[in-house]
A and B are shown apart, each in its own frame.
Chain A
Amino acid sequence: MTPFDLTPEAVVEELTRYGQKLTHGMKNLMEVGEISTGVTPKTAVYSEDKLTLFRFNPPAETVQNKVPLLIVYALVNRPYMTDIQENRSTVKGLLDAGQDVYLIDWGYPDRADRYLSLDDYINGYLDRCVDVIRERHHLDQINLLGICQGGTFSLCYSALHPDKVKNLVTMVTPVDFQTPDNMLSHWVREVDVDLLVDTLGNVPGEMLNWTFLNLKPYQLMGQKYLGLLDTLDDPAALKNFLRMEKWIFDSPDQAGEAFRQFIKDFYQQNKLLKGGLQIGAPVNLKGVTMPVLNIFAEQDHLVPPDASRAMRGKLGTRDYTELSFPGGHIGIYVSGKAQKTVPPAIGKWLNERG
């Protein structure tokens, strides 16, 4: 028995098919046009420094939840992932589920922002955005939806300002930063973060990209492109691929001080879980007293499910719900299955709580 059932003729045939796909893919590439992202119409309602607060235009026919929902995205990538294309939009799903959706775009920090701290981001920018929305709607409290690092920010914010948060939803949000399967956490333990920030000031997006690609280097830097061949003859699929590619490499630099504190306090010392975290004031998860919906992805290689599940039993709330999604860190926003399940589930959970 041989390990290959291959003949030279079969190889030539395979290469011919490969060549055909490349040729036809080239035609599609020439005609692909501009790659657009962020498809749902929205209006800027507040801005400060690099930050812009957007409100998405609600569909006229939908009955809206009176309590607006603010999406807090991570600093490490761009928030248009939540609204990346017409049929893959968490934002659109939330609007359809009756939510009045706001979103913070943190922008691209430059060297003048190097000393922005987590206190500035959480008790400053985020708090002011919450106040703007409360005043616009004449409400004491609003709903928060935090995603990934933005989920961690939202948790900290909710612990510090529970009087301003009616309901909290976290998506793929790390709480335990040192689960045994957390590659990022394992790698940064011996990195001298003070040297990193003192030397570079802001942390370049390229450095973060290198780190994220190294989670699965051979798939993400090699095999993925060969796999593209299978969908190259489909213009829509090609466009989707290019859109995702644009997002993956659209990594803002990170404000140095905020990065320093995030890596040291969260990844290296796991203070959110173990205690001792200080962001303007002590952050205690028991201060999270509002209802919480915690959504995580079962195949998440960036935020392992256990890192999110660690929230269970650590909060001050009695109304805690978990939703497990069978997919990955990105699939939870963009997969077809996610579109059908995640935003409607969030909408239903929020609507049930007024």
Chain B
Amino acid sequence: MRLSVTDTKNAWMESWLEAQQSYWKSWADLARFGAKTPAMPKSPWAEGIDQWWQSLAPLAPPDGRAVFDKLMDMAKGYFGLAERFVTDRADKNDAMEVLNGWLEAMRQSWSAWRPGTAPLTAGNPLKDMMTFWDLPMDTWNRMAANIMPMPGDFTQAFHPEGAALGMGALHEQMNRFLSIPAVGYTREAQEQQQRLGQLAMDYAAATQAYQMAFAKLALETTQKFQRAMLQEAENGKPVGSLREIYDRWVGLAEAAYAEFVMTDEYRALYGRLVNSLLALKAQMARLVDEGLEALHMPTHAEISTLQRRQQELRRENLRLNKTLKGMQEQLTALLAQAPQTPLEKSVKPAAKTIVKPAAKRAAAPKIATRPASAASKSKSGGNKK
């Protein structure tokens, strides 16, 4: 029998699945009995699923690949959670100890996190479960990268030693440096560069403040999660699957998030994040324009002026066309109503004019079709159309 390409792929995937299943079972047995060898990978399940996807991804159609990339990211987190559970369960007396161990690790991680260090969840043993706390900032960085000529997370480079010095002190030093009065022939250019530096610092501070707020929120959510799980246990409804743990975790996180983002604190953080990025981008554009002007090339500002004028001309043209059309229709209607001269009567019978709806209105005494209520309230409104 001849196998098609699809059949071959399917057979290969089934074989992979069987092998993987056997591997997971063996590994779980080893972990359960406390066997640990230097050769054992840190995250065998998550790594296995990742390798599987890396080998198959090139075959995936473009429409589905991005979705599966996200699905695999989630899968790695999920598998990481499973590994953690199996390993910890082997070391601990009961599941309650496992839970407390997890939550303590999270609490310590978030309490210790400081602006200027790696992302919120990096290096954390439970980062797979916690990773979604980075999602808003991660997505923001991707978006920022799309509108800036530099990576979205470039602010990480501004404060490598921030955690050790304290951001306040570092920022103060930098601001002092950037405030040194510029002198000499290139004074204006120096000031522009200093301004750029200050705006970059402002943006870095805004991203840090945003992340700090999420670290605090994550810490609070951890405590809520602990209380919720204990409550479930007391009610005799223990969690029965990893998926259930994950879903409850997400549910609580989403509820905490929804509450937080409606506060004045978040509104200010959000505004600061957006405005500081835009101020930085605007200053970059200004500097680029100066360079373009020096090279006698069209600048962004000049093109923008031309675009505005072109749009104004277009509006005016459309308005004139509409007025002209209305006048033509009025003329047609008037001609149709005008009494004929004796000569016209003798030459041919009166033509029958079909008056279209628009022409009917044009022939009416009121030329403007704008509602009377709107027109009467606007002295300058006139006939806009």
Contacts and interface: CB of A to CB of B under 8 A. Distances in A.
B311 A116 contact: yes
A35 B63 contact: yes
A140 B357 CA distance: 6
Contacts of B75: 18, 22, 226
Nearest to A241: B67
Interface in A119-174: 119-120, 123-124, 127, 131, 134-135, 138-140, 159-164
A15 B369 contact: no
Contact of A226 (B68, B74, B239, B261): B74
B275 interface: yes
A301 to B, nearest CB: 9
Interface in B244-266: 245-247, 250, 253-254, 257-258, 261-262, 266
A20 B229 contact: no
Interface in B223-242: 229-230, 232-234, 236, 238-242
Interface string A230-243: 00000000100110
Interface stretch (A91-99, A211-219, A336-344): A211-219
B282 interface: yes
B106 interface: no
A15 B79 contact: yes
A185 to B, nearest CB: 10
Given A32-B63, A138-B357, A225-B70, A187 B261 contact: yes
A139 B97 CA distance: 75
B316 to A, nearest CB: 12
A283 B25 CA distance: 69
A62 interface: no
B377 A282 contact: yes
Nearest to B5: A30
Nearest to A134: B357
A137 to B, nearest CB: 9
A23 B85 CA distance: 24
Interface residues of B, number: 110
Given A3-B99, A219-B254, A11 B242 contact: yes
A112 interface: yes
16 contacts: A3-B233, A3-B238, A4-B238, A4-B239, A29-B61, A30-B61, A135-B357, A159-B374, A191-B274, A195-B282, A199-B279, A201-B304, A206-B147, A218-B250, A222-B74, A280-B384
Interface of B: 6, 9-10, 13-14, 16-17, 20-21, 24-25, 28, 31-32, 45, 49, 56, 59-61, 63-64, 66-68, 70-71, 73-75, 78-79, 82, 85-86, 89-90, 94-96, 98-99, 132, 135-136, 139-140, 142-143, 146-147, 229-230, 232-234, 236, 238-243, 245-247, 250, 253-254, 257-258, 261-262, 266-268, 270-272, 274-275, 278-279, 281-282, 285, 304, 307-308, 310-312, 315, 318, 356-358, 360-361, 369-371, 373-375, 377-378, 381, 384-385
Counting from the closest, the 5 A-B pairs by CB-CB distance are: A190-B271, A115-B311, A4-B95, A281-B381, A3-B229
Interface of A: 1-12, 14-16, 18-20, 22-23, 26-27, 29-35, 111-112, 114-116, 119-120, 123-124, 127, 131, 134-135, 138-140, 159-164, 181, 183, 186-187, 189-192, 195-196, 198-201, 204, 206-207, 209-210, 213-214, 216-219, 221-223, 225-226, 228-229, 238, 241-242, 245-246, 280-284, 286-287
